[in-house]
């Protein structure tokens, strides 16, 4: 690997005095450090057209980004360096994009306010309105988690029943095919009419958006299990309950997780729509509030928070899938 910067780290061999080995920084890591340093220089040295309160704080964060990458490149154990090298292009692109954004807004004003606030304005939202944003995120999770879990569990139970029982499949499969394609938001007027409050109506819609993909994919997975698995289990004396819980369901889990991912994406959309329509708190409510006051910096800050929060939830589901389906790693490409 080509190297640009070096330092020395101590190493010891048995029976010898402490020596030093050469630790190097790759081109990609050095470019990332330089990009963050350059972004800090643009932020601090180029005057803003409009006075922004968080310009100095943004420059400090960018300097800390450069220092953190430099320290990590030299201090991380050797087995962790490939991880840093793999992410180095992203660590380089991010400060470059941030600098371009800042030059087009705060430094030159080519993108007009209030529709295109600079990064300093969004940072100001996180420092000054963090309480309301944190409350909105917490309220959204309180609404999302029960609805998603209820929809996932109900959809899983329906999918297993439809996939295993011919009688249930005769009645249930046509209903799933007829009602399933309807978007959950189409039930919005009915849910708000029949259910006692906006929270229960929104929870119902989130559960509904999760239920159908989980049910359809689970039933498909149950039906696609090879009959030879059942024959072998019956030969060993398995009863019907064992066939369902220990053969059909484990073999169908890859399909189940596909349904869970599809339901999770649909639940995010329904969550925001429900909060914009009737709930008095949450990320969707904050989005509508910011739009009503033309506070576009708050709007963009809310969108960034949504992206981070929803990505974290999806990453958590990936983590669960990797643990539950660890047996797949030698069979399929992950």
Same domain, yes or no: 39 and 153: no
What's the CATH number where 235 sits? 1.10.3720.10
Dist. CA 255–CA 251, nearest whole Å: 9
242 in any annotated domain = yes
The widest CA-to-CA distance across the chain, in whole angstroms, is: 81
Q: Per-residue pLDDT tens for 111-169?
A: 998 899 999 999 999 999 999 999 999 999 999 999 999 999 999 999 999 999 999 99
Sign of CA dihedral 196, 155, 142, 270: negative
Q: Per-residue pLDDT tens for 66-96?
A: 999 989 888 877 677 788 888 889 999 999 9
Mean pLDDT along residues 230-247: 88
Strands (E), the chain: 3-11, 19-26
Q: What DSSP character marks residue 25?
A: E
The reported pLDDT for the residue numbered 281 is 82
Q: What DSSP character marks residue 112?
A: P
The reported pLDDT for the residue numbered 22 is 44
Dist. CA 238–CA 164, nearest whole Å: 16
CA distances, 100 to each of 91, 105, 273 (Å): 15, 9, 32
The reported pLDDT for the residue numbered 320 is 94
Q: How far is CA 60 from the centre of its chain?
A: 27
50 in any annotated domain = yes
Same domain, yes or no: 136 and 112: no
The reported pLDDT for the residue numbered 278 is 67
- Write down the pTM of the prediction: 0.83
- Domain edge (last residue) among 90, 116, 142: 116
Mean pLDDT along residues 230-249: 88
Dist. CA 206–CA 332, nearest whole Å: 32
Q: How many CB atoms within 10 Å of residue 316? A: 11
Dist. CA 8–CA 24, nearest whole Å: 9
Residue pointed to by tokens 């990797």: 322
Residue 332, pLDDT > 90, answer no
Mean pLDDT along residues 4-8: 44
What are residue 11's DSSP bridge partners? 19
Same domain, yes or no: 134 and 75: no
The four Cα atoms 189, 191, 196, 199 give a dihedral, to 10 degrees, of: -100
Same domain, yes or no: 98 and 191: no
What are residue 7's DSSP bridge partners? 23
Average pLDDT of the chain, as a whole number: 87
Name the more confident of 224 and 279: 224
CA distances, 93 to each of 4, 36, 100, 166, 206 (Å): 19, 10, 11, 55, 36
Residue pointed to by tokens 């394609």: 181
Q: How far apart are the first and last CA of the chain?
A: 27
Same domain, yes or no: 180 and 224: yes
Q: How confident is the model at residue 305 (pLDDT cuts 50, 70, 90)?
A: very high
Same domain, yes or no: 105 and 135: no
Same domain, yes or no: 175 and 316: yes
- Domain edge (last residue) among 72, 93, 116: 116
Number of domains in the chain: 2
Is residue 8 exposed (0-12), middle (13-18) or buried (19+ Cβ within 10 Å)? exposed
- Domain edge (last residue) among 53, 88, 116: 116
124 in any annotated domain = no
Dist. CA 326–CA 128, nearest whole Å: 44
Same domain, yes or no: 143 and 93: no
Same domain, yes or no: 151 and 298: yes
| Domain membership of residue 138 as a residue range | 130-328
The reported pLDDT for the residue numbered 51 is 87
Percent of the chain topping pLDDT 70: 90
Same domain, yes or no: 182 and 321: yes
Classify 295 as helix, strand or coil. Answer: coil
Dist. CA 214–CA 258, nearest whole Å: 8
Dist. CA 253–CA 259, nearest whole Å: 10
Residue 23, pLDDT > 90, answer no
Classify 155 as helix, strand or coil. Answer: helix
122 in any annotated domain = no
334 in any annotated domain = no
121 in any annotated domain = no
Name the more confident of 64 and 327: 64
The reported pLDDT for the residue numbered 276 is 83
Q: How confident is the model at residue 179 (pLDDT cuts 50, 70, 90)?
A: confident
Same domain, yes or no: 147 and 277: yes
125 in any annotated domain = no
* Residue 52 · residue 106 · CB < 8 Å: yes
The reported pLDDT for the residue numbered 101 is 95
Classify 333 as helix, strand or coil. Answer: coil
Mean pLDDT along residues 257-269: 94
Dist. CA 3–CA 304, nearest whole Å: 35
Same domain, yes or no: 107 and 141: no
Mean pLDDT along residues 39-51: 93
123 in any annotated domain = no
């Amino acid at each position: 690997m080509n190297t640009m910067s070096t330092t020395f780290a101590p190493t010891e061999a048995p029976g010898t005095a402490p020596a030093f080995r050469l630790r190097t920084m790759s081109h990609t890591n050095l470019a990332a450090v330089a990009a963050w340093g350059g972004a800090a220089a643009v932020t601090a040295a180029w005057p803003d057209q409009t006075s922004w309160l968080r310009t100095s704080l943004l420059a400090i964060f960018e300097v800390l980004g450069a220092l953190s990458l430099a320290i990590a490149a030299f201090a991380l154990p050797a087995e962790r360096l490939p991880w840093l090298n793999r992410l180095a292009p992203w660590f380089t692109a991010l400060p470059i994009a941030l600098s371009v954004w800042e030059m087009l807004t705060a430094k030159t004003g080519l993108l007009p306010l209030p529709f295109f606030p600079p990064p300093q304005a969004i940072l100001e939202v996180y420092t000054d309105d963090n309480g309301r944003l944190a409350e909105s995120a917490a309220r959204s999770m309180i609404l999302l988690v029960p609805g998603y879990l209820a929809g996932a569990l109900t959809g899983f139970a329906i999918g297993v029943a439809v996939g295993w029982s011919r009688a249930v499949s005769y009645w249930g499969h046509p209903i799933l095919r007829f009602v399933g394609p309807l978007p959950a938001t189409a039930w919005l007027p009915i849910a708000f009419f029949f259910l006692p409050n906006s929270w229960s109506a929104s929870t119902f819609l989130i559960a509904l958006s999760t239920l159908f993909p989980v049910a359809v994919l689970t039933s498909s997975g149950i039906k696609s299990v090879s009959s030879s698995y059942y024959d072998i289990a019956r030969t060993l004396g398995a009863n019907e309950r064992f066939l369902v819980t220990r053969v059909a369901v484990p073999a169908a889990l890859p399909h189940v997780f596909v349904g869970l991912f599809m339901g999770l994406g649909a639940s995010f959309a329904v969550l925001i729509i429900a909060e914009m329509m009737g709930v008095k708190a949450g990320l969707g409510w904050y989005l509508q509030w910011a739009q009503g006051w033309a506070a576009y910096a708050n709007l963009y800050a809310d969108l960034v928070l949504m992206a981070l929060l929803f990505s974290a939830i999806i990453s958590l589901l990936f983590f669960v899938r990797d643990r539950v389906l660890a047996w797949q790693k030698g069979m399929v490409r992950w």
